[in-house]
Amino acid sequence: MNILYDEHLDGPIAPQNKADVLADLSQAIPDMTLLHREEDLRPFECDGLSAYQVLPMLVALPDSLDQVETLMRRCHAMGVPVVTRGAGTGLSGGALPLEQGVLLVMSRFQRILAVDPEARIAQVQPGVRNLAISEAAAPHGLYYAPDPSSQIACSIGGNVAENAGGVHCLKYGLTVHNVLKVEVITIEGERMTLGAESFDAPGFDLLALFTGSEGMLGVITEITVKLLPKPETAKVLMASFDDVEKAGRAVGEIIAAGIIPGGLEMMDKLAIRAAEDFVKAGYPVGAEAILLCELDGVEADVADDCETVRRVLEAAGATDIQQARDDAERARFWAGRKNAFPAVGRMSPDYYCMDGTIPRRELPSVLKGIARLSEESGLRVANVFHAGDGNMHPLILFDANQPGELELAEEVGGKILELCVAAGGSITGEHGVGREKINQMCAQFQPDEISAFHAVKAAFDEQRLLNPGKNIPTLQRCAEFGAMHVHNNELPHPELPRF
């Protein structure tokens, strides 16, 4: 889908003369790579949400902080918007470029600056791959806990921008719980340090504010992350169910039993078959749903927890329970789950990956609602969950070559997110809002809350030049979406941008 920048999302963008901007930046930063020809720009027209595509005006590929600092100052002076991009694996259109803006690509900042095994921290540049941090820490018996399914490719800077999670975030937390400090550069070119290497820092927690801000507050240039000791042992149980709702209820019952698994993942029948065909993980293709439950820690404790979880699963109606016999089988079980997205991609010309979060107790009812939406729309939905923390990833299968199917998939996706909100959840758990979910922000938040978001944005970026049109809707958009009440033909908060 080729879309143009939607100008009423976050303020009109002044038309830019590409030749003038190119000349200014080339003169100010002569040693920085600037791409401007269409064939060079084309690889950057989208992120992992490939349904949305926009050709950027220019692509900047700096390899020093001085270059980034100067670029930001010049763009701020000229009123040129900047979108920051890492590895491009995001799934909400957060790194979607602008036709009238510069795409700042931080992929050349790939150095692991330091690993301190005594302090259990690592200092890394934003372009470092998530998995590379654990690989560098492994000789010290340490690792970095957040593990998105794309960890072999995704960059840590993008993880911080989106507050990424992963299959082990139930026990070990999201990115925000595993980052101690970030270095950033503001739109004015000012360098800032947020957080500290200690476990707390005085003043407002701007580090937590910045984590998950989706490139709207500044450019990440360095991250200090926590490292954890590798668990003494880890065991995985795979439980099969003949009913999806039974599997959903089992999730809450495991937590209620006092067990916090390292990972607790769920897949439905469609996802199971796709993953098994692709990975040969040993999944039961006849099951309606499976749960993968990993328990880690000290050997004796893990053995006791395995028995407890087995009893809970049996009582919940599991038809079969397998325990991985060795590390190789454990790795296969997880390989199927981590490759679920590309596996489902082999079943359909296109799929639309959603990301919502609900209270665990609502899993059965929300699953029923998703099944109803699938039946009504005629589009198949494969369900993959970080079930332990209620983070859902419904994959809506469609064919963009069929007229109207992309729009139908987007409509179904929006209804699924609204279902999550109605259940007491959120429209995102780890993928971010980006361009994809901006309408559903209007369904989740009230005018005063959106007003507060805009105030925070303005404090860091008064001209709204950083990643405009993402994450925070204008009140005008919410009124058009039909999710905000308008009094006497007037929107609340007249001080906020309307277009």
Q: Which two tokens stand for residue 476?
A: 């005008």
Domains and CATH numbers, the chain: 18-105 (3.30.43.10), 112-229 (3.30.465.10), 231-433 (3.40.462.10)
- If one counts every other C-beta atom within 10 angstroms of the C-beta of residue 325, the result is 8
Query: Which residues pair with residue 60 across a beta bridge?
Result: 34, 104
* Res 49: pLDDT: 81
DSSP 362: G
Cα separation, 473 vs 477, in Å, equals 6
CA dihedral (314, 266, 294, 163) positive or negative: negative
**Alpha-helix residue ranges (DSSP H) falling in 402-446:** 405-422, 438-444
* Res 116: pLDDT: 98
Q: Per-10-residue mean pLDDT for the chain, 499 residues long?
A: 41 80 98 98 92 94 98 97 97 95 98 98 98 98 95 97 94 96 98 91 92 98 98 97 94 95 96 96 97 96 97 98 96 94 93 93 92 97 93 95 95 96 95 94 94 96 96 88 49 43
Length of the chain: 499
- If one counts every other C-beta atom within 10 angstroms of the C-beta of residue 380, the result is 16
- Residue 170: which of 150, 154, 146 has the closest Cα? 146
* Res 201: pLDDT: 78
pTM, two decimals, is: 0.91
Integer-rounded Cα radius of gyration of the chain: 23
Q: Per DSSP, which regions of 75-140 are E strands?
A: 82-85, 102-105, 112-116, 121-124
Contact call for residues 186 and 169 (beta carbons, < 8 A): no
